[in-house]
Amino acid sequence: MTKTIELNGESFPFRLTLGAMHKFDNKFKAEGITSLNMHAGAGQRIEHMAYLMLVGIEAGLKYEGEDVKRISLNWIYDNVEVKDMKEFTEVLADESDEEKKT
């Protein structure tokens, strides 16, 4: 299922696929997706959230047949505002609810 998140006034498809989680795990090694700690230091949390946002959007764009290169980690750092994080955490919570229902 593809969700949509809005960042900086632009809508992006978002999918937290196995491939996206694998990319996240490879990036953070021992701090993989299963150990994502929202109580970690602010810098670490921001890096984790930005990268999770990136891999989920990349998976969504790929699924929709859109250009994955239109988004980058630097774009996320430069354009995502604090207000956008609330919607993103709601999308993540919704993803978790979907997993529990199946």
- What is residue 36's predicted lDDT score, i.e. its pLDDT? 57
Task: Spell out the residues 6+ positions from residue 9 whose beta carbon is closer than 8 angstroms to its own.
Answer: none
pLDDT reading at 97 higher than 80: no
The pLDDT confidence band at residue 88, using thresholds 50, 70 and 90, is confident
- Residues 28-55: pLDDT tens digits? 876 555 555 555 555 567 888 899 999 9
How far apart are the C-alpha atoms of 70 and 47, rounded to whole Å? 20
Listed residue (2, 6, 45) closest to 20, CA to CA: 2
C-beta of residue 76 within 8 angstroms of C-beta of residue 12: no
